[in-house]
Amino acid sequence: MIDTKVVTPAQDAKAFLGMTFPTYTHLLSEADLDRVIAVPVAAFVDGVPAGLILGAMPKPGNPAPPTLFSVFVDPAFRNQGVGTRLMEDFHKEVAERGGDVIRVKYMTGKEATAYFERILQKTGWEEPTPRMAAIKADLLQIRAMDPPWLRERRISPRFKIIPWSAVTEEQKQNLRLSHEKDHWIAEDLVPWMHEAHYDPVSSCALLRDGELAAWVINHHMRDGTTRFTCSFAHPKLQRLGVVLWLYKEAVDRAEEKGRRFGTWTVPLHHPAMHAFAMRWMKPCSVYCRETYGSEKKLTVGEG
């Protein structure tokens, strides 16, 4: 018999810690966080822990919608309705807490992707749509291809490449004021959204006449990979390929520290960056996957 219940930190959640991604395990022990309230629903088959679905509800003041983070069913209990039951009860729990829509993002190319997508389909989620490409590539192999953007070049004295750590607060403030006036930066690529815990080794910026004109902000991952997180250039300079100047600087600096791998997550709504990643990173990739998104509209009492 399949039973489900909401797991709370006051209960023994240890049996379910291995049923979600490490990034989210804190939601099982600290359900009431700064901006969200965790919603973990566990499944049991004849009293044996069989699966876990984990999501979160936003707290008042947080405009984000309810989010689904992970679904896991022990392989021994798959194809027995456990995943469907978990999802239906998760819908009900979110609806009873006032949620009217749930959103999810997930990456393809994993062993359980097809199983997860079948659960979405069975429980009335919208058809998933592609959101971004995710690539992990070997920097040494990219170097061996001798791409033109990694070759030495001479640039005008008007331009200067500096580490992001050398950018002054005045320059950052001037950038904010310029953007507030003309809204010229893509909203998901404004640098101040990505500065937290940035990698001082490979993150860099381009100054034009002393003012911030382009940037590449990266993060150093625990496994030693350099994540190329955010890159953008002033629209008037994009035809010059100035972001590629910074990519060369970032790759050079990463290699100097013995770093071999880089990752890129490129939204499809940035077609030039997507095309660049497909051209130069994909041939040298350890993996190349796509991220999809979907949502589920809810009614009170659903499930």
Name which CATH class applies to 2-125. alpha beta
Dihedral through CA 93, CA 57, CA 112, CA 139, nearest 10? 180
Q: Give CA–CA dist 233/211, Å, rounded.
A: 12
Q: Which residues contact 232 (CB under 8 A, 6 or more apart)?
A: 185, 186, 189, 191, 214, 215, 243
Q: Is the pLDDT confidence value at 34 over 80?
A: no
Q: Give CA–CA dist 95/72, Å, rounded.
A: 21
Q: What is the CATH number of domain 136-291?
A: 3.40.630.30
Strand order across the beta sheet in which 261-267 lies: 2-6, 36-45, 48-58, 67-73, 101-107, 285-297, 129-138, 261-267, 226-233, 211-220, 204-208, 159-163
Domain limits of the chain? 2-125, 136-291
Neighbours of 170 (CB within 10 A): 10
Considering the entire predicted model, what is its pTM?
0.68
Confidence of residue 2 (pLDDT cuts 50, 70, 90): confident
Q: Give CA–CA dist 139/263, Å, rounded.
A: 10
* Over residues 110-120, mean pLDDT: 90
Two tokens, residue 39: 């919603």
Give percent above pLDDT 90 in the chain.
73
Confidence of residue 47 (pLDDT cuts 50, 70, 90): confident
* Over residues 223-233, mean pLDDT: 96
pLDDT single digits (tens) 64-104: 899 999 999 999 999 899 999 999 999 999 999 999 999 99
Question: Which pLDDT value is given to residue 1?
Answer: 76
**Integer CA distances (angstroms), 145 to 128, 148, 255, 261, in order:** 35, 9, 15, 15
Q: Do domains 2-125 and 136-291 have the same CATH topology?
A: yes
* Over residues 117-124, mean pLDDT: 95
